[in-house]
Amino acid sequence: MPAPTADSPALATHAGSAVPGSGKPPFESWGRYPKHDARLVQLHWQSDFPGIIAGTHGGVLPVGLGRSYGDVCLLNGGTLLQTTGMNRLLDFEPRTGVLTAEAGVSLAQILDFAVPRGFFLPVTPGTKYVTLGGAIANDIHGKNHEAAGSFGNHVPCFELVRSDGTRMLCSPRDNPEWFAATIGGMGLTGLITWAQLRLKPIVSRAIDYEGIQFHGIDEFLELKQRYKDVEYTVSWIDCVSTGKNFARGIFMLGEHSRVPGELKPSPPAKLVFPFEAPGFALNRASVSAFNTVYFHKQRKAHVKAIQDYEPFFYPLDAVLRWNRMYGRNGLAQFQYAIPWEGAREGTIAILREIANSGLASFLAVLKAFGDTPSLGMMSFPQPGIMFALDFPMKPGITLPLLERLGDMTLDYGGRLYPAKDAAMTPHQFQSFYPNWQRFARFRDPSITSSFWERVTDTTGARPTR
């Protein structure tokens, strides 16, 4: 296993495209809620850390591109160490597909490098503007969880640097407990300086796509069963409609084309959401109208097409900074994974609660998680149904709804995703993640986050409404 030293500029290769929307203070999470003040320091070399910590107070937190929705990448009154300047590709082994890169490289940069060479990410989230370190620290999942597990399952090793200067090579064999604590460890165990990622071969940018309309959770479950061998599956679901349209949606399937085709890099995104939308722009009527159009946009009940990977994996990346659509108050995401035993009933009950609240947006996703165990001690995925939905942040309304939905998730044996959360109570977090005290022993004493302070708070304090 190589132990790259990217402190040597001679070894370093700058990865392809620049990453839009990064690094300009004030640093916000994607949901733009909560808004917490912190000092922002850019890391450029692995050696910058831990020297930088000496002059700070209020704790530090490594961050990537701030694509987490809530406060897992925020630190009120502390110092955020942004890693996007540590973005060098260090080594690539075409025989095995193993790429070694600094942790601040983005998945977009990896794709620019890998696709022309006939390789693709083993797991990708719904945006390519996340860093390698951020992907490991939240042990992210993609549309192929049933086939491939989560991101950490494809990371052979990484280096972890602690604030006291200790450097550790972590893998399932070397320092295995630190490996498990850091995958999904929310940045709290130390700075990931570089990591290896096992890429997978492709022969074309094209995806063989199918879209199938469904009506209700039982039809969704039937489709999931029928297409269980297809690599990528995900569903858009209408969370506003009640009555006969309750839980209608589109089940989307995809596989990398096996017909050799184009392998060029993607052009840069051009559209930027131009302004901060007024708070009233997203309301029940506008979302309901959008959902009806979206559902019927697919005119036939079942369509097949060949699609480029960009719109298949990253439809939202076409418009940069689309989070401004939610106005100044921002948005909150609610995302659960409920095990199969309670998955059907829990999903129906939660969808009804959401429909009755009248608060849903059109960005709602339903999918199944598979059986591959995550390697992280605090990883979110577990076998069952995963559901994610954006809510506009409305003072006095959204947070109480999220707390109710969190309690319902707990009742059905599920858990919420820290990367998407701004509202979990300490009781909810500690019940969702019973390992948390064992995990806390691996936390670096100089590192903390607004999320961690909130969910381990025993004073009974609640997020501000």
Is 72 an interacting residue with respect to ligand FAD (CB under 6 A)?
Answer: yes
Q: How far is the CB of 351 from ligand FAD (least distance, A)?
A: 19
Is 59 a binder of ligand FAD (CB under 6 A)? no
* Closer residue to ligand FAD in complex, CB, 133/406: 133
Is 106 or 204 the residue whose CB approaches ligand FAD more closely?
106
User: Residue 346 interacts with ligand FAD (CB under 6 A)?
Assistant: no
User: Of 206 and 447, which CB lies nearer to ligand FAD in the complex structure?
Assistant: 447
* CB-based contacts of 33, cutoff 8 Å, min separation 6: 70, 329, 330, 331, 332, 393, 422
254 contacts ligand FAD (rule: CB under 6 A): no
Asked if 218 and 192 touch (Cβ cutoff 8 Å), the reply is no
- Which residue from 12, 15, 38, 63 is in contact with ligand FAD, where contact means CB under 6 A? 63
241/329 with CB nearer ligand FAD: 329
Query: Judged by CB under 6 A, does residue 30 bind ligand FAD?
Result: yes
Residue 62 touching ligand FAD (CB under 6 A): yes
Bridge-based pairing of strands 364-369 and 167-170 is unpaired
Q: Does 155 bind ligand FAD (CB under 6 A)?
A: no
Q: Which of 79, 138, 347, 382 binds ligand FAD (CB under 6 A)?
A: 138
> Which positions from 88 to 107 touch ligand FAD by CB under 6 A, shown as an x/- string?
---------------x----
> Does 376 contact ligand FAD by CB under 6 A?
no
Report the nearest approach of ligand FAD to the CB of residue 312 (Å).
13
Q: Note whether 133 binds ligand FAD by CB under 6 A.
A: yes
Least spacing, CB of residue 94 vs ligand FAD, in Å: 26
Q: In terms of CB distance, is 61 or 206 closer to ligand FAD?
A: 61
Q: b/e for 230-254, b at 16 or more Cβ within 10 A?
A: bbbbbbbbbbbbeeebbbbbbbbbb
> Among 4, 59, 134, 330, which residue sits at the site for ligand FAD (rule: CB under 6 A)?
134
Site residues for ligand FAD, window 175-194 (CB under 6 A)? 186-187, 191-192
Q: Which of 15, 19, 50, 68 binds ligand FAD (CB under 6 A)?
A: 68
String of b and e for 108-144 (b: at least 16 CB within 10 Å)? bbbbbbbbeebbbbbbbbbbbbbbbbbbbbbbbbbbb
Nearest distance from C-beta of residue 449 to ligand FAD, angstroms? 6
CB of residue 192 to ligand FAD, shortest distance in Å: 4
Residues 292-321 interacting with ligand FAD (rule: CB under 6 A): 316
Q: Does 64 bind ligand FAD (CB under 6 A)?
A: yes
Using the minimum distance from each CB to ligand FAD, give the nearer residue, 14 or 304. 14
- If the CB atoms of residues 140 and 389 are measured against ligand FAD, the closer one turns out to be 140
Nearer to ligand FAD, 97 or 187 (CB): 187
CB 170 within 8 A of CB 160: yes
**Residue 83 or 163 having the CB closest to ligand FAD:** 83
Query: Is 36 an interacting residue with respect to ligand FAD (CB under 6 A)?
Result: no
CB of residue 356 vs ligand FAD: minimum separation in angstroms?
26
Residues binding ligand FAD: number (CB under 6 A): 33
**Member of 12, 19, 60, 65 binding ligand FAD (CB under 6 A):** 65
Q: Give the CA radius of gyration of the chain.
A: 21
Binders in 112-131 for ligand FAD, by CB under 6 A: 125-127, 130-131
Which positions touch ligand FAD (CB under 6 A)?
Answer: 30, 61-68, 72-73, 83, 103, 125-127, 130-131, 133-135, 137-138, 140-142, 186-187, 191-192, 316, 419, 449
